[in-house]
Structure 1
Amino acid sequence: MSLFLLILLLINPKINQIETENSKPKLSILIDDSKSISFFNETNSIKGVRYSLMNNRLLKDKFHIDEFTFGNSTQVLDSLTFTQKQTNISNAITSINELQKNKIAPILVLTDGNQTIGTDYEFINSKQQIYPIVFGDTTKYVDVKITQLNANKYSFIKNKFPVEVLLNYQGEESVRSQFVISKDNRVVFRKNITFSKENNSVTILTNLTSTREGLQYYKASISKIDNEKNIKNNTKYFSVEVINEQTKILVLSSILHPDIGALKKAIESNKQRKVEVFKIEDFKGQLKDYQLIILYQPNTKFSKFLSKLNEQNTNYLLISGVATDWNFINRMQLGIKKNAINQPENYAPNYNDKFLPFYQEDISFNDFPPLKDKFGEVTISKPNQTLLYQNINGLATQQPLLTTFNENNQKGAILFGEGIWKWRSTSFLNTNSFQEFDKFIGNLVQYLASNKKRKRLEVNYENLYPSNSSIRISAFYTDENYKFDTRASLEILIVNNETKEEVKLPFSLVNNSYQVEVENLNSGDYSFTVSVLGQKLKKYGRFKITEFEVENQFTNANFSKLQKLAENSNGKLYHENDIDKLIKDLLENPNFYTIQKSIKKEKNLINWKWILATLIILFSIEWFTRKYFGKI
């Protein structure tokens, strides 16, 4: 018996078995969890519709149901709070399409159709059929609102700064209203406006005068018209920082190149800065009139200017490229040399998160296209800090691509490569804005153009925050050697200037900065103090929380866009009272069917565990029996 089982175990016979598996179609339910739902008083309606869907036995038998919520982002449903401060319908639909790719998975969207961020959802190319369920009043009420307001963040004292305001009207009859800009409860601009069904949009352009230095807050508002339901979209706030000096930056170039235009636009995006561009042979001015000199692709024509830079300890930014004369630069005793050959090479950026001279977040530098410079090894003979390293054909190196110096009260930086205009274009393609790239160049220019002694505690924040938004404040703290100090404990004290209520919070260490996030502050003026515990270092500031809430700017549900969304995806739009019809249509739709799969599985004919256990027992009995009778 033992030998028989041993042979059977070694042979291990198997059989093939066919099993069938039923795969039900997916039904994704997307629920709008933003504040606009509570603003329209539709929270109970959405909860009731959700209950009807989730407790329908026939629907659960036919579909595998998944629930999600969306607002700022899309998440698996945990609970409904209706407190999300933004609505991104397009992101929610795109995410579910990606999740349910190559599956039968219709999508139900429970929403008012009002989107505040993201791409326009009505043109989404969805492979899944979408069934919007519209909540909120679809009646169109008369309404005037401030759609957009554009103003400079900075202005010079006694100068005029432009303000552009776009006003919109929704209604059939001709109405009159008044637009006002005020400061400290004093009207600084007023204009009467007439709207009609045909002329429902008005653009106002005006110039305001900067009369006082410092941060100034303004209020733009349009007066209420008869029978207007929502007046929360009639007011917007903006701020202007008035300054009495301007940073002048000189660009000297040996060639014409699109990099120069990109640098000028990025630097002058901050109105505190002005850029003057000259060909090296055309410049007749004085270097001392500028706070920063940018040397673009220098050659022997730059000889006297580089000598003056060293004599006067003028701050500079040197940008090299294929037209740069490195033999000349190596002779100028700048503390940096490059053993260059007359062969170009592409250098991609590699971000260094340990860079300390100033705080610069990663703006996806590693995704930027490479810069072009002459090939060669760089040698630096003075203290430096590198923000970006060279990446050559996917190989990360410790050679600098962008490095900074600070020696003998002179600041400098060198960018080893031309083509930075491509970085600005790529940043725009990635973010739909030049803001991130311009801020990066602004940080670099601010560091290089300042000769002031560096402050050990720097704080970054906005002057205006919308009501109920998250207020993020970051701080950068260094030790006495100006090295970023991770051992410190920072806290912020926020005081409401009207009620005198105080909020004290600690900062958290995040990468190379300290950060704090404050929520649930009421609208009003606030001042704050950032302190380093155990040190006498403090930083003061102020900000304003406006009454503006983007989710409360709508007067009705967006029926038309939801209708187009349904039509473009071969779905159908329903109202909150049509749930029984929706369920019936889903159950009767022949496109939503269960897929039966045949799976061929190979199974063991014997249970080897029991066979092995029996085999061990039989061999043990035989051994003990032979031992007992003296056969062993």
Structure 2
Amino acid sequence: QKYTINVSSLKNEITTKNNKQTIFVEVIDGRQKILLVSPSAHPDIATLKQAIELNKHYEVTMVLSDNLNTVDLNTFSLAILYQFPDQSIDSQDFVNKLKVSKMPFWYILGAQSNINGFNVLQSSVKLNRANGAIQEIFPLEASNFTLFTIDPNAIKQLVNYDPLQSPFGNLSINGNYTAILNQKIGRVNTQSPLWFFMSDEGRKMGFLLGEGIWKWKLEEAKSIQSLPLINELVSKTIQYLSAKDDKRKFKVYTNKTTFDEDEHVILNATLYNDAYEPINSADVVVQIKPENGKLFNYNFSKSGNIYRLDAGSLAEGDYSYTASTTWGNQKYTAKGSFYVNALITEFQQTTANHQLLYTMSQQNGGKMFMPDKLLKIMDELAQNGQIKTVSYEDRKYEELISFKWLFAIIMALLSVEWFLRKRNGEV
């Protein structure tokens, strides 16, 4: 969003050239709604809600499973299904809506979970529960987790935390997954995931196979030396699952939206193949057009797996650009805009910057004197050993005949002498 700010001028104002400034503000609708579905109240719910709402960009709506008929899935970015579907309420209609919506979700299993309903909701993770039994699972740090960053020292402290309560049964996973925590059963470290992530046809899914993370929160509070982990772990899980992937195969962008006249306008472009790998075998051209003016045509330079263009310095004004390329008989275009501000640095500060002047004098071996210290300049010059008196001699020769006035004086003196001698009878 472009904004032009104008300030009214004052009486006897020295300059009004600095009374106008144009800026761009990127408006991000970052407040996303998170749906939290649960069969009943639970300490885990409070832990989840508190951790999520620490980020002001998220708003949590808690809905019990017997009130799901009032939920509009289109208003939510992510669903947290806490032990849902549960064993007491038939929620098949809502489950079907979830499947059709392709909304990302985070499923948390527990003692109240309806495992058959869980297996119907998605096809990636299946659990064959044995006689409704519950087992204790301790958290174990998984290796090579890269979806988001967590303090490695903080996550290691989970080994001393209470176990989660998880439905007992055989776990089978269909597809690739990335785990941040694995299961430790008794004293046995396993490679079975406890807290992990998957993707099914572009739909992100998170799984936590146990209830009781509120106990982990209490463990954190017990020790002053404990590093904050649970809030960060929950918050970053939400951020990852709710983030919308940009699947455009051709992207063009500037490093910022507002430039000054003396700055170089830099554009970057990225082209992806069907496997979403960056490539730069195709040529990319761009047209940059000022608001009132002719088009400028440029070709991007190839740099590694991306494209780059230095359009140089441009005059003040609004600019729009349209970039295009062709790959695999498919033409791609990308558009954008930016603004160039007039360079009025000298008008933005109308009073002398004495600190700058002092710095300049120091850097160049000089000294700065304020008006009330001007008399000290003479003393400084006298004490400066680098300043020495220098004398110059210049000789020039001219013929006496060139001095007519001197000849006239000589003739006048001779005439006076002759007259005096004549009068005294000496001649």
Range into which the TM-score falls when normalised by the shorter chain = 0.5 to 0.7
State which of 36, 54, 63 in structure 2 corresponds to 1:252: 36
* Alignment CA distance shift 1:310-1:399 (3 Å): same
Q: Could you tell me how far apart the structure 2 residues matched to 1:504 and 1:443 are?
A: 39
What TM-score, normalized by structure 1, do the two folds share? 0.38
Q: Does the 8 Å CA contact 2:140/2:182 hold for their aligned counterparts?
A: no
Q: What are the Cα deviations for residues 296-322 of structure 1, in whole angstroms up to 9, with x where unaligned?
A: 6545549837733554243123175xx
Q: List gaps (5 residues or longer) in structure 1.
A: 1-215, 268-274, 353-361, 426-436, 566-573, 586-632
Cα separation, partners in 2 of 1:514 and 1:318, compared to 1, 3 Å? farther
Q: Quick check: 1:294 aligned with 2:79?
A: yes
State the match for 1:495 in structure 2.
289
Contact 1:230 1:554 in 2 (8 A): no
Amino acid at match of 2:46: L
Counterpart amino acid of residue 331 in structure 2: K
Quick check: 1:277 aligned with 2:66? no
C-alpha displacement at 1:222, in angstroms? 0.6
Indicate yes or no: 2:212 matched with 1:412. Answer: no
* Matching residue of 1:538: 333
Gaps of 5+ in 2: 39-44, 129-134, 184-190, 214-228, 360-365, 371-376, 385-427
Look up the match of 1:312: 100
Could you tell me which residue of structure 2 aligns to residue 336 of structure 1? 125
| Cα contact 1:473–1:517 (8 A) shared by 2 | yes
Which of these residues, 362, 381, 384, is aligned with residue 174 of structure 2?
381
Query: How big is the shift at 1:220?
Result: 1.2
In 2, the alpha carbon distance for the partners of 1:403 and 1:496 equals: 46
Q: Given the alignment, which residue of 293, 313, 318 partners 1:520?
A: 313
Letter in 2 for 1:221: N
Q: Please tell me the residue identity of whatever aligns with 2:290.
A: N
2:390 corresponds in structure 1 to none
Match of residue 266, structure 1, among 46, 50, 57: 57
How high is the sequence identity, in percent, across the aligned residues?
A: 18
Superposition deviation, residue 405 in structure 1:
1.8
For 1:495 and 1:538, locate their aligned partners in 2 and report how far apart those are by CA, in whole Å: 15
Alignment size in residue pairs: 311
Measured after TM superposition, the shift of residue 486 of structure 1 is 5.2
Asked whether the equivalents of residues 24 and 257 of structure 2 are also in contact (C-alpha less than 8 Å), the reply is yes
Q: Which residue of 2 aligns with 1:610?
A: none
Cα deviation, residue 221, structure 1: 0.8
Give 2:71's aligned amino acid.
Q
Distance 1:495 1:382, change over 3 A: same
Cα offset, 1:466, TM superposition? 3.2
Task: Note closer, same or farther for the CA distance 1:532–1:326 as it changes in structure 2 (3 Å cut).
Answer: farther
1:479 Cα offset (Å): 2.0
Q: Which has the larger radius of gyration?
A: 2
User: 2:272 maps to what in 1?
Assistant: 478
Partner of 1:553: 348
Aligned 8 A contact 2:139 2:194 in 1: no
Contact 1:314 1:411 in 2 (8 A): yes
1:46-102 deviation line (CA, Å, top 9, x unaligned)? xxxxxxxxxxxxxxxxxxxxxxxxxxxxxxxxxxxxxxxxxxxxxxxxxxxxxxxxx
- Does the residue aligned with 1:466 lie in a helix, a strand or coil? strand
- Measured after TM superposition, the shift of residue 462 of structure 1 is 7.2
Summarize the alignment of residues 215-254 of structure 1 with structure 2, pairs less than 5 Å apart. Answer: 217-229=2-14, 231-239=16-24, 249-252=33-36, 254=38
C-alpha distance in 1 between matches for 2:232 and 2:288: 42
Could you tell me how far apart the structure 2 residues matched to 1:367 and 1:551 are?
47
Q: 1:445 aligns with which of 215, 222, 243?
A: 243
Question: 3-state DSSP class of the match of 1:527?
Answer: strand
Give 1:70-469 correspondences, 5 Å limit.
217-229=2-14, 231-239=16-24, 249-252=33-36, 254=38, 255-257=45-47, 258-263=50-55, 265-267=56-58, 275=59, 277-281=61-65, 283-284=67-68, 285-290=70-75, 292-295=77-80, 297-298=82-83, 301=86, 304=91, 307-318=95-106, 324-325=109-110, 328=113, 332-333=118-119, 334=122, 335-336=124-125, 341-345=136-140, 350-351=145-146, 365=149, 380-382=173-175, 403=197, 405-407=199-201, 411-414=203-206, 421-422=231-232, 441=239, 444-447=242-245, 454-461=247-254, 464-467=257-260, 468-469=262-263
Judge conservation of contact 1:492–1:507 (CA < 8 Å) in 2. no
